[in-house]
Amino acid sequence: MKIEYTPRYIKDYSNIKDARAKKDTDKVERLINTAPNFVELHKLLDIKKYDPGLGGYRIRYSNKPEWRIRFELIDDTNNPKEKVVKLQMVLPREKYEKYAHISINESIETPFKIIISESQYIRLMEDLNNPMDDELTRYSNRIPPSEVGEVTYRYKEGRNTVPDRMDFDTQKLIDCGAIVICKGMDGDPNSPTFKKHLNDGSTNLITLYNIEHAKKNDSDSWILEAIKHPVTVAPKSWENMSLETYDGKYNQILWSLKKLGIPYEDVIK
């Protein structure tokens, strides 16, 4: 089944500090994604209906403490016969009970800054089918130092739907300023592991699109710190990047080249 994320759910997810609880939450999301329909999803998860007025479903999972996800079923605009799971909130049981019968809008009292993981972002952009709306995109190529240049992180088969992709030369993209490949960095500036991966062989691919939007919308963005640690020679593992990366990143590269006024054919292999 498809998932739609509310800002409240993303906020709750980003606040999960317990590693086990975050892992179990990710597992619940995977089960939702793999379930062909709501009947089958019922067989996989402990789901209770509690309040039709709010959309009214609750998933109980994990233990000590028990965690709960509230969601509603909404129509799939692309397939009227199917339903989408709209995730509303995720909280430990004690906190959940406080908001269980409160609407999403009422449950958020103050503005907040959303910090999400790479996997959360990718799933969110897939479900929204609009990969260009957020500057927090991060394509992480995390590999052991001993294997640098030999292994590439590839996304799921079928994720790339842009037809007739151009096979760009990664080094040319770096040289013209359309992209920056930098040393690995955690996407949360407040994380204790923010710079943990600078020297472990990890790399991030950041586009000019990311940089421009970070400068405009978030002067404290991790992106502006990450580009201070560039890798000027394209690693072998990024050789086929434009054919392997997900749609959002590929479209950002096209945007960046247009911004620079560089014809696509000038940076093709």
For 195-198, the CB contacts below 8 A with 24+ separation are 197/142, 198/229
Q: pLDDT at position 156, please?
A: 43
**Is the peptide bond prior to 163 cis by the omega test (within 30 degrees of 0)?**
no
Strands (E), 117-176: 139-141
Report the C-alpha gap between 135 and 162 in whole angstroms. Answer: 20
Give, in words, the CATH class of 2-114.
alpha beta
For 9, the enclosing helix (H) or strand (E) is helix 7-14
Q: How far apart are CA 70 and CA 47, in angstroms?
A: 10
Give the pLDDT score at 146.
Answer: 33
- Are residues 178 and 250 in contact, defined by beta-carbon separation less than 8 angstroms? no
The pLDDT of residue 187 is 56
Q: What is the pTM of this model?
A: 0.42
CB neighbours of 197 closer than 8 A, spacing ≥ 6? 142, 183, 184, 185, 186
Q: How many helices (H) and strands (E) does the chain have?
A: 11, 8
Q: Are 240 and 167 in contact (CB under 8 A)?
A: yes
> In this predicted structure, what is the pLDDT of residue 116?
60
Of the candidates 211, 218, 222, 153, the one whose C-alpha atom is nearest the C-alpha of residue 187 is: 222
Q: Comparing C-alpha atoms, which of 124, 41, 45 is closest to residue 83?
A: 41
Q: Provide the 10 A C-beta neighbour count for residue 160.
A: 17
pLDDT at position 191, please?
A: 62
pLDDT (tens, 9 = 90+) of the chain, 269 residues, equals 899 888 888 888 888 988 899 999 999 999 998 998 888 898 899 898 866 566 678 999 987 889 999 998 888 887 878 888 999 889 998 888 877 777 765 444 444 455 566 656 665 665 554 433 333 333 333 333 333 332 233 334 454 555 578 889 999 999 999 999 888 776 555 666 656 666 666 788 889 988 888 888 777 777 888 888 888 888 888 888 888 887 778 888 988 999 899 988 899 98
Burial 106-133, CB ≥16 within 10 A → b, else e: ebbeeeeeebbbeebbbbbbbbeeebee
Domain residue ranges of the chain, discontinuous segments joined by +: 2-114, 139-267
